[in-house]
Amino acid sequence: MLRLFISYSHMDREWCDRLYKHLVGIDKEVLAEIWYDTRISPGSQWDNDIFQHLNNADVVVFLVSANFVDSDFCALEIDEALKRQESGKCIVIPVLLRHYNLAGSGYAHLQFSPQGGPIDSDSWSDKDLAFATVSKEIEKAARLQLGNTSRRTLAPSARVEFQKLLHHLCDRLPQKDALRRALAPEKLKEHRPFVIVVFGQQQDSLEWFLSRLEHVLLKKYFSQLIGRLSPLEWPEYARGLAPTELFGSSLTDCLNARPFASIAEMNAALAALSPVSILPSSVPAGTWDKKTEALFDAYLQLWQEWPKLPADRVLIPVVTIEYPEDMPAEHRLRRYLKRLNFESMPGVGGVVLPAMTPIELMDFQNWLRLEQVRPRIAEPEKAIDKSNQITQEFPSRMYHLAEKHLPRLLQQL
């Protein structure tokens, strides 16, 4: 359970009282305490009491207006709250009461609430709706903070904090661990292909996974550079055709073999490629049906029947499957993947990795502010400011932002 502290100007007391009435509706399992200075006990040292509650808070809310910015005492609360946020001890949520130019403030880079504009503006004809929106946005941020706090309690190491990765990317540790376990016995069987199947909601997540697979995970495992072949194009399913007939024309291009090469000739062409080669392909889940499953069965059969690989060569076909966000848990794709059992396929190794899920924007921003991360990123405020400009319409821009600011750090994760 979390503690929430409200920093505000006494000139805006009415607005603070109204917000409080909406916040008390939040589940007590999330917010155990909502504190602002009307809760000061009679006879206590009021300034000590305020800073004691501020320093114990997990969530700090700024009620931003000209009155708030002009308050010297609020300025002290702001400085303290931002320091605590930078060290990962709390999150700060500015709530914009009225229009104000905050370009010179120390918190202009934070995500403001409500996202529809200042509460005391024409954007909100219904002020209760504005406060209800703020309450929901604060509750969402608090639930994320509650999850992060729980993880820190269970495993306080910096490594756990590094698991909070990027917006539209994903926590890679489940995939990494599953891949490591599946690859362990393959050292004894490197003369057969090893198929990796991974699925997720965002194309950027899948592309980043391929990049990490190539430059980090497999490179670490095989202790050498990894090659990535051109993507294998999946054909339309045609009943009665053998797997080589279905995939052969595209395979010859990927493996730099002559047109109409036999499977043995395509296999021999691997000797001229990288010692370890990734062969990527992509299958959409939106059109997943019986024909797709039959084609997937043919794809697996292709690798089961593949000849013994050339000496010192490893071939890793990788299938990425992008599924829509509204795909139900019992979608036939999930049922199909659960049934896949590479242990029953003696001619091929493989693994179905855990699903990839995108990270919320606030997770990305909080990750940038972690004390282990912040010193390693040039101009983190600019990175956070740019992330605020990213919308769901442009997920690929976050991928480019990550490429620009974080590549060296990401290799350590």
Domain pair 2-154 / 173-352, same fold: yes
What sign has the CA pseudo-torsion 323, 326, 331, 334? positive
- Domain locations along the chain: 2-154, 159-166+359-410, 173-352
Alpha helices in 172-318 (DSSP H): 173-183, 203-212, 218-222, 243-254, 263-269, 290-304
Rounded CA-CA distance 331/209 in Å is: 23
Instruction: Read off φ and ψ for residue 276, nearest 5 degrees.
Output: -125, 120
Say yes or no to pLDDT of 154 above 80: no
- CATH number for the domain formed by residue range(s) 173-352: 3.40.50
pLDDT tens column, 291-325: 999 999 999 999 999 999 998 899 999 999 887 76
pLDDT tens column, 31-71: 888 999 876 554 445 677 788 889 889 999 999 999 999 99
At 263 the pLDDT is: 92
At 211 the pLDDT is: 76
**386 vs 24, higher pLDDT:** 24
CATH number of 2-154, picked from 1.10.10.60, 3.10.20.30, 2.40.30.10, 3.40.50.10140: 3.40.50.10140
Residues whose CB is less than 8 angstroms from the CB of residue 160 and which lie 6 or more positions away in sequence, other chains included: 151, 152, 154
Rounded CA-CA distance 30/321 in Å is: 35
> Which pTM was predicted?
0.52
pLDDT band at 411 (very low <50, low <70, confident <90, very high): very low
**27 vs 67, higher pLDDT:** 67
Say yes or no to pLDDT of 258 above 90: no
